[in-house]
Structure 1
Amino acid sequence: MGCTGGTKPEQGQQEQKKIGLVISTLNNPFFVTLRDGAQQKADELGYELVVLDSQNDSSKEYSNVQDILQQGISLLLINPVDSDAVANAVKLANDANIPVITLDRGANGGEVVTHIASDNVAGGKMAGEYIVQQLGGKGKVVQLEGIPGASSARDRGKGFMEAIEGTEIELVASQPADFDRTKGMTVMQNILQAQPEIDAVFAQNDEMALGAVQAIESAGRQGIMVVGFDAIDDALQAIKDGKMAATVAQQPDRIGSLGVEYADKVLKGEEVPTYVPVDLKLITKDNVDTLD
């Protein structure tokens, strides 16, 4: 298969091939780390990496893919804003005969060579099981959901619900806060006003978890356990400070690095699996120092 639509070697020297990376947002440390991991591997393997930021906007993502396809890329890495909306952008690359690899979030349409991501269902379940264990199987919990339509939000929510099913844990509120810290704080403030009893919060990413911590502190509420997802630096510090109980650690640098590694395999015509899982780990105060 090899490279289609890429640059051709000139005078016996292979011109540097370009890989495109269209990323959902660079206003989130997780995705900055993912980009950095991809950049490091691109430098190592001799690829030029062209990065465009979709700013959490599916229409911006579509125009980014249009733009990047004009730049002579050999393969497109895409971290979708929304798994449904991204299908049209993937089809643009398909029509241009440019192979596509999805990172962290999948695409619900178009042809994708492989998907590289954490097992988000397993991660949501890991967080839920921790909450169930800490609460002794009973209590009132809140879930802060990510961007509606993002596969990571759906899968983390699914795993979490599987974990609390059959227990005496009552889900008293579950609302989207779009993976955003400020929205996480605002949504949590409203939930705190409506719910006099809350024992724990599961936020589908650390940004929302940190927003929830701010809201809980501002409201002067004691004894509410907050569990996040992603293990960003601010969350790890919050765990050390006793403000968050736990987070599920992904390896965004590894997701980015594997993206370029598998892009290289695809461009060399090698067979690749349709899904490449990246390991997860529950981080609590007991093991938080192992991530330093």
Structure 2
Amino acid sequence: MTTESQGMTTENQGMTTESQGNSGGQDYQSTLSVPSLNIVYFARMQNGFNEAVQERDNFSGTFNNSRGSQSEQISDLQTALSNDLDFMMAVPIRAEALTPTVEQANDQDVPFIAVDRNVSGADPATYVASDNVSLGRRSVELLHGFMQDAQSKDEYNIVELQGTQGASVTNERQEGGMEYVNNNSINVLGSQTGEFSTETAVGVMEDFVTRYGDDIDGVYAHNDLMALGAHQALSGTELEDVAITGIDGSEAWVNLFSDNQYYGTIAQLPEEMIRTAIDMGIKAVEGEDLEDSVQIEGLEVTGENASDYLNQYF
């Protein structure tokens, strides 16, 4: 899957991507802001957005890459609010950072659709996302199964690579993962943020290995990029067969499943999130009452179905 939709994407000097819909019948104007296109998961959201612009005669909009900058995301959305906009969509970098923006959008009667991560202290029109508590619980459950398949023990030791601190998705994935831990014979040796980054996760995982060594039975990563970082840190060591699970369903991580039967993920479907967010935005503009949240189901991916998954989504 590419990060751009051919013929549908232009960029201005501020790196804001604008997608233009088919001529005629463009009734709804929107914007979508994501944290960073360096993360493939958000590039897939851009694809879903561009595909919607191309396929729907009644929808057009702008796409904004915040490049990891909270201030840039706020600025992009403030600019969008100053233009003629029907509704807006965003994946907040941090849960509380966009609270004033949502309040301003509500004051201007512009529905704000939170996608993937929620906003705290404000009332978006709805929140479209996977159930991240469920994703965390399912990822640790999958990890537990791998560890049991690898060896029989009374208790298993894991380390946790957390996502960006303060992000709702981090809080929820930790809540779900620890819910499973607390109800099963699992001990968490260490838990530290890897900032949803492969590079950062490598360093954190190396530190875990130094501290805990072969006491580590498994690694629970809040996303696949950090799972990939854990894999890189463990490759070539005595722990290279340690079970690792992530969340998201990234191509780079799933491609490794044929090399290790104890690797897995709970895949999200970001393209479906964006299509649903657009539907919810249009409904809100039309005055329909929306539920507080709309959940998109995740898909368990292991070595058994990795090939089928990659063929369908990449």
TM-score (normalised: structure 1): 0.90
Distance (whole Å) between structure 1 residues aligned to residue 25 and residue 48 of structure 2: 24
Could you tell which deviates more after superposition, 155-164 or 59-68?
Answer: 59-68
Q: Residue by residue, what CA displacement relative to the aligned partner does 1:66-117 show, whole Å, maximum 9, x if unpaired?
A: 1111232211101110112221222232233211000000011222111100
Cα distance change of structure 1 residues 65 and 218 upon mapping to structure 2, 3 Å threshold? farther
CA contact (8 A) 2:26 2:60 kept: no
CA contact (8 A) 1:146 1:176 kept: yes
What is the match of residue 8 of structure 1? none
**Partner letter of residue 252 of structure 1?**
P
Q: How does 1:179-198 map to 2 (within 5 A)?
A: 179-196=196-213, 197-198=215-216
| Structure 1 ranges of 4+ moved more than 4 A | 13-16
Could you tell which deviates more after superposition, 164-173 or 34-43?
Answer: 34-43
Structure 1, unpaired ranges of 5+: 1-12
Shift of 1:42: 3.2
Q: How does 1:114-129 map to 2 (within 5 A)?
A: 114-129=126-141
> How many residues are paired up?
280
Distance (whole Å) between structure 1 residues aligned to residue 267 and residue 179 of structure 2: 19
Shift of 1:272: 2.1
Q: How does 1:232-243 map to 2 (within 5 A)?
A: 232-242=250-260
CA contact (8 A) 1:132 1:138 kept: no
Answering whether residue 53 of structure 2 is matched by residue 42 of structure 1, we say yes
What is the match of residue 73 of structure 1? 85
What is the match of residue 18 of structure 1? 29
Distance (whole Å) between structure 1 residues aligned to residue 43 and residue 270 of structure 2: 9
TM-score (normalised: structure 2): 0.84
What is the match of residue 156 of structure 1? 173
**Partner letter of residue 143 of structure 1?**
E
Distance (whole Å) between structure 2 residues aligned to residue 201 and residue 232 of structure 1: 17
Answering whether residue 68 of structure 2 is matched by residue 61 of structure 1, we say no
Distance (whole Å) between structure 1 residues aligned to residue 287 and residue 256 of structure 2: 45
Q: Which has the higher contact order (CA 8 A, sep 6+)?
A: 1
2:281 to 250, 254, 263: 263
What is the match of residue 114 of structure 2? 102
Structure 2, unpaired ranges of 5+: 1-23, 149-153
Shift of 1:271: 2.5
CA contact (8 A) 1:238 1:244 kept: no
Distance (whole Å) between structure 2 residues aligned to residue 133 and residue 33 of structure 1: 29
Distance (whole Å) between structure 2 residues aligned to residue 124 and residue 220 of structure 1: 27
Could you tell which deviates more after superposition, 132-141 or 251-260?
Answer: 132-141
Shift of 1:144: 0.2
Answering whether residue 292 of structure 2 is matched by residue 274 of structure 1, we say yes
CA RMSD of aligned residues (A): 1.8
What is the match of residue 160 of structure 2? 143
Please give the secondary structure, in 2, of the residue aligned with 1:67. helix
CA contact (8 A) 2:29 2:84 kept: yes
